[in-house]
Chains A and B, each alone.
Chain A
Amino acid sequence: MDTIKIVLAGQPNVGKSMLINSMSGSNGLKVGNFSGVTVEKTELCFEHHCHMFEMIDLPGTYSISGFSQEEKVAHDYLTNEDYDVIINVLDSTHLKRNLLLTLELLKLNKKMVLALNMADEAKKEGIEIDVKQMEKIIGVPVVLVSANTKEGVEELLEKVHEVADSQERIKSNILYSDAMEEEILAIETFLTQKGFSLRDLSNREIAIRLLFEDKDIYKELHDEPIMMELQPIILKALQHLYTHHDTKNVQEIKANEYYAIARGIHLETVNCQRNRGKKSLTKQIDEVLINKYLGIPIFLFLMWGLFQITFTLGAIPMDWIDRAIGSFGDFVGSNISNEFMRNVIVDGIISGVGAVLLFLPNIIILYIGIALLETTGYMSRVAFLLDGFFHKFGLHGKSFIPLVTGFGCSVPAYMAARTLKSEKDRLITLFIIGFMSCGARLPIYVLFTGAFFGADKAGNILFLIYISGALLGLVMAKILRVVVFKGEDEPFVMEMPKYRFPSFTLIWHTVYNNAKSYVKKAGTFILGASVLIWVLATYPNQPLLDKEYQAKIEQQSNKESIKTLENELKMKKMEHSYLGQIGKLTEPFFAPLGFDWKMTVSLEAGLAAKEVVVSTLGVLYAIGDDVDENSNALAHELKKNISFASAISFIVFVMIYLPCLAASMVFAKEAGGYKYLAYLFIFTTVTAWIFSFITYRILL
């Protein structure tokens, strides 16, 4: 089967990723309504008419000479890699500026198809595009598509086939300004007279590149004798262009020329019927959402609402899950006769995995919130609103995007920081992403706030935890900016996308994928960790202790005191287990913060993954459980065994300390070395310790 390698290029937020999704009929690529959703080259394969389509999704790029790190990815790929066809995706409702990139892409001299995406929106806005005319001018096939309604997608696939198979190219009819055309002709004629040719470039193309001072062409022509005669012609031509454009900056001349061409093409092919007076919906919404005075309060209110819902709405299914897990444990317990197996499964696996699964509803609500933020277009507005505030703390407004992503999971957040152009802004952002508590920490908070504050206050406390984490992050950013990463401020210019009503499928897939991976993690990694914790907390066997208590119990006749003795035995055994020994070893370090060895061990286990904190607590308290069957057993146990001050101090520590192993690895990669991970470890541990210590001492 033949493979066609197709690369999608276009400005940010024009729907490249969504177009690949609809072409391939999958939902594999992340889509969001802001610039910089895709930050890494991503590949996806599917079959079409007996051909293998290998699609490459690139980060959006405003112009081919990249500006930020992820734009460089696009630039490098387009200029250096081998591929068959470029699909240049354009936003039909913003054709003029999208065409600027098209003009640059044409210079790559590759087979190309233009996909005018968002046809549905264009229709709604009364924009008509003359596709045939555009084809004639630009000289490449043009297809009107909508990744949303899938109209034109099949046609686009056909066109890609055709273009990939065809050898010849249609001639383009792009015309520059009169002055430029005059000089192009002069150079072109000279080259033809000399019988000169270079690669597959036409003489007209060579002339254009010479006039735009394309470095590569000068390099190639450097040793050619023709250069000697060419030089005075070029110099004269440039003089002419300088006076015509009133500047000696060739880049600016090029920009002017391109802009004029784009405007020309737009004028000839686009017919806009919109009545001018009417305010667009986006403008109306912006009147409220980025209102000078209301903007920030509205944002805070929405965040508060989200956490309120996360707790209160999440509590309903949580109850059911808790009961289901409880009865499942009982059922399994009463049906397994082998004591060892029963204990591993009930106290290890079911308690550990169950403790994590319990919080699935909260996680889902949180992810719905984040998905809404990402897909409606509100994200960029918040970056806009917060830039002034962020700027005071030495952060860039755009940092908001990775930081918000960090509320879901730190791994994509670290990668999202690539949209920041300045290396220092990026590093600072990387360092403080961990202060944005990720979804995996949510279960810990929900567990502790539920246990120690009661249902009516828990939502507020949850909000407070997230906000104070974020504020702390800002303060840390300021410190880092002043002490470590001094330097120039990066300009803030950012496109504000149109508000879009997110489709149900879009939200569903984002949330579903995240929920699925949460459950999958619970079923694999957390399960393994729970068994490990159980084993470590149960062994080695302690026959001496057993015998001692056996004797004591036999002497008792009172049921109550027998039970107390039995519990005492369990506790003692656990304290002497491997896990107990590890805990005791590190307990002194955490004792000033009010943590006992069980909390210490769960924090340490949490370095692997934050969900493990909860599963470890689940296992540890299940082993020591005095088997009472009321709901929310773990929360109940915690409240019984841990003081209020210790609990809050624990929350504070969890808020600040090192993210999970997977995230730490990504951090090291993104920051540029394990050296940075060591810094991060020290930075977060010291901060966490100090803040927990203060909290504990105040509350004690």
Chain B
Amino acid sequence: MKLSELDKGDRAIIKKIDSSEDLKTRLASFGVVRGSELSVEACSIGKQTMEIMVDDTLIGLRAEEAKEIEVEKL
């Protein structure tokens, strides 16, 4: 399933990232890579943005970006 489909409090493992090269590099430097575990910490109204935690790093991202990340819910 997609990261954007998760709700607050869910945990998941990243399976695949389909973003552009630039964005992939940026995500990788946050520790968002295939195989890392994440938890959803917060969502804004209408899920326009969500805050996730990977490896103790909090990251805010937009739903459009979250759609490009394939995850497996734990």
Interface residues of A (CB under 8 A from B): 11, 62-63, 65, 67, 93-94, 96-97, 100-101, 251-252, 255-256, 259, 282-283, 286-287, 290-293, 295-296, 380, 383-385, 387-388, 391, 397, 489, 491-498
| Contact indicator A387/B49 (Cβ below 8 Å) | yes
Which chain A positions have C-beta within 8 A of B25? Answer: 63, 65, 67, 251, 255
**Which partner residue on chain A sits nearest B21 by CB separation?**
A251
Q: Is the interface of B mostly helix, strand, loop or mixed?
A: mixed
- Bound CA–CA A282/B61 (angstroms): 18
Residues A385 and B59 in contact, CB atoms below 8 Å apart: no
In the assembled complex, the CB of A125 is this many whole angstroms from the nearest CB of chain B, namely 9
In the assembled complex, the Cα of A492 lies from the Cα of B21 at a distance in Å of 15
Q: Report 21 cross-chain contacts, Cβ distance below 8 Å, ordered by A residue.
A: A11-B29, A62-B30, A63-B26, A256-B33, A293-B45, A296-B45, A383-B60, A384-B51, A387-B44, A387-B49, A388-B48, A388-B49, A397-B60, A491-B19, A491-B62, A493-B59, A493-B60, A493-B62, A495-B57, A495-B59, A497-B58
Residues in A whose Cβ lies below 8 Å from that of B24: 252, 255
7 tightest A-B contacts by CB?
A: A388-B48, A496-B58, A62-B29, A384-B60, A492-B62, A97-B31, A493-B61
Compute how far the CA of A255 lies from the CA of B17 in the bound complex, rounded to whole angstroms.
13
Q: Which of A65, A94, A291 contacts B56 (CB 8 A)?
A: A94
What does the 1/0 interface line of B34-47 toward A look like (CB < 8 Å)?
A: 00000001111110
Check B65–A493 contact: CB distance below 8 A: yes
B23 close to chain A: CB less than 8 A: yes
B49 near A496 with CB under 8 A, answer no
Q: Residue B27 at the A interface, CB < 8 A?
A: yes
Q: Are A494 and B59 in contact (CB under 8 A)?
A: yes
B28 pairs with A387, CB closer than 8 A: no
A514 to chain B, nearest CB (A): 29
Contact of B62 among A63, A94, A97, A387 (CB under 8 A): A387
Residue in B closest to A125 when the chains form the complex, CB atoms: B56
The contact of B60 among A63, A251, A256, A492, by CB within 8 Å, is A492
Check A96–B55 contact: CB distance below 8 A.
yes
Q: What CA separation (Å) do A287 and B8 show in the bound complex?
A: 11
Beyond A384-B60, A391-B48, is A493–B43 a contact (Cβ under 8 Å)?
Answer: no
Instruction: Give chain B nearest CB distance to A679 CB in angstroms.
Output: 29
Name A421's closest neighbour in chain B (CB-CB).
B22
User: What is the bound-complex CA distance between A496 and B53, given in angstroms?
Assistant: 10
Query: By CB atoms of chain A within 10 A, which of B20, B43, B60 has the most?
Result: B60
Nearest B residue (CB) for A251: B21
A267 to chain B, nearest CB (A): 13
Residues of A contacting B33 with CB < 8 Å? 255-256, 259
